[in-house]
Amino acid sequence: MAHSFPVPRTCPFAPPPEYERMREEAPLVRTSLPGGDVWLVTRHAEAQQVLSGSGISTSPATPGHPNAALRPTPPPSPEEAAAMAKFLAGHFIDLDPPAHTRFRRLLIPEFTVRRIKDLRPGIQALVDGLIDDMVARGSEAELVQAFGLALPSLVICRLLGVPYADREFFQARTREMLSSDGDFHTSAFAIRDYLDGLVTNAEKAPKDDLLGRLITGGRLTHDELVGVMFLLLVAGHETTANMIPLATLTLLRHPDQLAALRENPGRWPMAVDELLRYHSIVDWVAFDRVAAEDQEIGGRLVRKGEGIFVLGASANRDARAFERPDEFDVERGARHHVAFGYGVHQCLGQNLARAELEIALRTLFERLPGLRVTVADEELPAKYDGPIFGLTSMPVAW
């Protein structure tokens, strides 16, 4: 049976309804895209198999990569190819081992549990400051801008040494880049040009921060440093910025579970993982792969060169992996979800994201016990056709 793809969401609290039908049909289903057929992975076990990396390539340069089928384009000119190669330097998420491993080994020490623990007091101070600002302005706020976007931007700016005054520039360019009707290349190259200048200045006098340590380590070229900064800046604020308002809305719609968290704050880490599983806001966009060799996946023969999209939001609602998967349960213990991916390409910043979400949500509900959304759920504008799901506005009062 042929399936359309990508499939837009229709509800803030659920993946596309078509995912359930596909998941029950088979662990892998075929879909026809403008540039050819690809596989869609619908179930949790097969998602982990594909994302683990064995016999699988993540590189868009590998023949058969599904991005070429999703958005077929004419071959670039030599000048365009050279500009794109410069832009993609350092984009380690699109590399296979051992090239990917070289970057990951340099960055892992910056995102360990111990390093993030050291950052927690600073994150707490930022959260408190943002809530102070909201309260000082009255008893109402627009949570996406005032809190959801603001906190991850502050954190990633401080981590990477990006002036916070420039946040509106990279936030606007990122939104355009990820918008379904935006100009990806213009926005992406604008961010890269900005970061090129930032790295150039840092190279003259490296500080004792993440960028400075990468510079003094001498293991990356200038263009690779710019590419790494690009990935960390975009990924480091966009996903968490979308999760904070969605998580807040979800907890407000489950007051009994919110009450349990207030009574026992030690449950917050477990609740964060359930929120990540429940929403799976990245879904397929980071889970594009291609078979590097013939192999069996979910009882299907996937041949070398066949493209694959893992549907993370479907895998995270698979009843084979999660009991009552469509229910939100803060005591589920959903640590084995694939919201951060799985295997060698699992999200490098997951410890930071968990810390931001935990501190932001716990403090928000502690400081504003009367928090409420002032419009009905159906009136909340959402990015239903965007590659990363989230709300564009969420008016609240307390």
pLDDT-based confidence at residue 1 (cuts at 50, 70, 90): low
pLDDT score at 278 = 98
pLDDT at residue 256 above 80? yes
Q: At what angle do helices 222-252 and 210-217 cross, to 10 degrees?
A: 150
Contact 386, 185 (CB under 8 A): no
Average pLDDT score over residue span 203-207: 94
At residue 312, φ and ψ (nearest 5 deg) are -60, -40
pLDDT at residue 182 above 80? no
pLDDT per residue as tens digits for the range 337-394: 999 999 999 999 999 999 999 999 999 999 999 999 999 999 999 999 888 999 999 9
- Asked whether residue 7 is assigned to any structural domain, the reply reads no
- Asked whether residue 9 is assigned to any structural domain, the reply reads no
> Of all helices (H) and strands (E), which one includes residue 262?
helix 255-263
- Asked whether residue 385 is assigned to any structural domain, the reply reads yes
pLDDT-based confidence at residue 335 (cuts at 50, 70, 90): confident
By residue range, what is the domain housing residue 186?
Answer: 18-397
Distance CA 349, CA 107 (A): 10
- DSSP β-ladder status, 36-41 and 307-310: parallel
pLDDT-based confidence at residue 199 (cuts at 50, 70, 90): very high
**pTM: predicted TM-score of the whole model, two decimal places:** 0.94
pLDDT per residue as tens digits for the range 281-298: 999 988 999 999 999 999
pLDDT-based confidence at residue 167 (cuts at 50, 70, 90): confident
Number of structural domains (the chain) is 1
pLDDT score at 315 = 98
pLDDT score at 346 = 94
pLDDT score at 284 = 94
pLDDT score at 177 = 80
Average pLDDT score over residue span 245-254: 98
- Asked whether residue 6 is assigned to any structural domain, the reply reads no
3-state class (DSSP) for residue 339 = coil
- Asked whether residue 280 is assigned to any structural domain, the reply reads yes
pLDDT at residue 180 above 90? no
Contact 248, 255 (CB under 8 A): no
At residue 373, φ and ψ (nearest 5 deg) are -85, 135
- Asked whether residue 3 is assigned to any structural domain, the reply reads no
Strand order across the beta sheet in which 395-397 lies = 140-142, 395-397, 372-373
Average pLDDT score over residue span 57-70: 93
pLDDT score at 181 = 65
Distance CA 10, CA 15 (A): 8
pLDDT per residue as tens digits for the range 35-50: 999 999 999 999 999 9
Share of the chain above pLDDT 90, in %: 80
- Asked whether residue 13 is assigned to any structural domain, the reply reads no
Mean pLDDT over each residue of the chain, to the nearest integer: 93
- Residue (of 318, 237, 246) closest to 279 by Cα position: 246
Contact 373, 360 (CB under 8 A): no
Least confident of 271-275, 316-320, 382-386: 382-386
- Secondary structure string (H, E, C) spanning 59-111: CCCCCCCHHHHHCCCCCCCHHHHHHHHHHHCCCHHHCCCCHHHHHHHHHHHHH
- Asked whether residue 296 is assigned to any structural domain, the reply reads yes
The CATH number for 39's domain is 1.10.630.10
pLDDT at residue 213 above 90? yes
pLDDT per residue as tens digits for the range 74-113: 888 889 889 888 989 999 999 999 999 999 999 999 999 9
Average pLDDT score over residue span 306-335: 96
